[in-house]
């Protein structure tokens, strides 16, 4: 076993228990992160100030897990892919409502209501994605989400900003959303469909279709050449790294 694997096992053992202040300090020390540990009892994250988290209940453990998710991206350790990708998967398994096996997430992915996020198996989220999960996000198996994608699941009334509406985004199995696209609330991205780069999705996307534009419109059917599901080759990194092994994560 190499040193990185040993670090990951140490952290998973801490996180799988009820994560508390002492556990966070231990992990920050492993990461060599300088931090005034005496204020950990007082920290409030942005999510603490969101009505939806107040409604659901933002526990101390969730706060610490979310803090560690963001702290990783402020640490040089976020650059070590064979540490950062498995570490995010360990956090996601406790932080999200559910998270499947072989979750691959790049740096600077931000979200606000982790309890409203359901992630399937073999999902890949690239760097810089912003997920507003207030209204709920369901991501199916083998979904790829590109760099800089923004997903919204809530909105505000024009005449009174305090009036909010919530509606989920659902991304079905084997769909792909390419970079810098925006997905608006109450939309479903159909199975095996593709959202082209820089598109604005404001209505449902039919299965096996390619949409593009602002707003996104149907361009054509996906060119599958009769391939479906696993035969579509949704292998995200070289040689299927991080997708090879069955993990202990539960969906």
pLDDT tens, 110-150? 999 999 999 999 999 999 999 999 999 999 999 999 999 99
pLDDT digits (tens, 9 = 90+) for 28-40: 998 888 899 999 9
Convert the chain into a string of H (helix), E (strand) and C (coil).
Answer: CCHHHHHHHHHHHHHHCCCCHHHHHHHHHHCCCCCCHHHHHHCCCHHHHCHHHHHHCCCHHHHHHHHHHHHHCCCHHHHCHHHHHHHHHHHHHHHCCEECCCCEECCCCEECCHHHEEECCCCEECCCCEECCCCCEEECCCCEECCCCEECCEEECCCCCCCEEECCEEECCCCEECCCCEECCCEEECCCCEECCCCEECCCECCCEEEECCCCEEEEECCCCCCCHHHHCCCCCHHHCCCCCCCCCCC
Question: What value does the mean pLDDT of the chain take?
Answer: 94
pLDDT digits (tens, 9 = 90+) for 207-251: 999 999 999 999 999 999 999 999 999 999 999 999 986 543 333
Domains and CATH numbers, the chain: 1-95 (no CATH), 98-229 (2.160.10.10)
pLDDT digits (tens, 9 = 90+) for 170-204: 999 999 999 999 999 999 999 999 999 999 999 99
Quote the pLDDT of residue 245.
63
74/103 Cα distance (integer angstroms):
21
């Amino acid at each position: 076993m190499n040193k990185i694997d040993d670090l990951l096992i140490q952290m998973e053992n801490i996180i799988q228990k009820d994560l508390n202040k002492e556990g966070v300090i231990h992990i920050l020390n492993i990461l060599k992160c300088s931090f005034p540990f005496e204020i950990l009892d007082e920290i409030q994250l942005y999510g603490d100030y969101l009505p939806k988290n107040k409604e659901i209940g933002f526990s101390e453990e969730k706060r610490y897990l979310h803090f560690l998710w963001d702290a990783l991206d402020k640490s040089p350790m976020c650059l070590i892919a064979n540490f950062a990708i498995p570490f995010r998967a360990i956090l996601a398994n406790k932080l999200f409502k559910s998270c499947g096996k072989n979750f691959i997430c790049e740096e600077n992915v931000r979200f606000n209501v982790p309890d409203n996020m359901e992630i399937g198996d073999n999902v890949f989220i690239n760097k810089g994605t912003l997920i507003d999960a207030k209204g709920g996000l369901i991501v199916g198996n083998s979904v790829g989400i590109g760099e800089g994608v923004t997903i919204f699941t809530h909105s505000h009334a024009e005449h009174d900003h305090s009036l909010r509406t919530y509606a989920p985004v659902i991304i079905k199995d084997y769909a792909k959303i390419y970079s810098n696209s925006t997905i608006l609330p109450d939309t479903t991205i159909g199975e095996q469909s593709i959202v082209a780069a820089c598109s604005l999705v404001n209505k449902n996307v039919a299965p096996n279709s390619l949409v593009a534009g602002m707003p996104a419109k149907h361009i054509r059917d996906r060119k599958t050449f009769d391939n479906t599901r696993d035969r579509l080759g949704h292998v995200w990194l070289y040689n299927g790294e991080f997708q090879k092994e069955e993990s202990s994560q539960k969906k």
